[in-house]
Amino acid sequence: MWVLEDPERHEWSKRVYTLPPMWKDVVDPEESLVIVGVTGPNEFFMSSEYSGEPFQVYYCNFDKETVTRVVIQGVGALRSGMGYSIYTYLNHVEDVKLMEL
């Protein structure tokens, strides 16, 4: 991964991350994942690329060498067939209160 260290001087550093050994015990080898973003220092957030049931997201902390799987239920009800993509985002907040006009 290339990280922009100093935007003014355009200085980049290269960082290589190795998946923790427990990765094989937590993530199905057939599952297709995408990196959504970074939640903190050395913690990556990944999600399933397709809308399987159950839909799962993963937090991978490279400092602690941990992988946490979070299962999101009910995604299957949103799709009418197999293979639909679901897009996940970090830091999204939605206010579902009704607006008064």
Q: How many domains, in total, are found in the chain?
A: 1
Is 48 domain-assigned? yes
- Amino acid residing at 28: D
Cut 0.95: pTM above it: no
Q: In this predicted model, what pLDDT tens digit does every residue of 7-33 receive, in sequence order? A: 999 999 998 888 888 888 888 888 888
Dump pLDDT digits (tens) for 38-97: 887 788 899 887 767 778 899 999 889 899 999 888 766 665 555 566 778 887 666 666
- Token pair of 5 as six digits: 């260290």
The verdict on residue 33 lying in a domain is yes
25 falls within a domain: yes
Range of the domain at 26: 20-78
Which of left, alpha, beta for 56 (phi over 0: left; psi -120 to 50: alpha)? beta
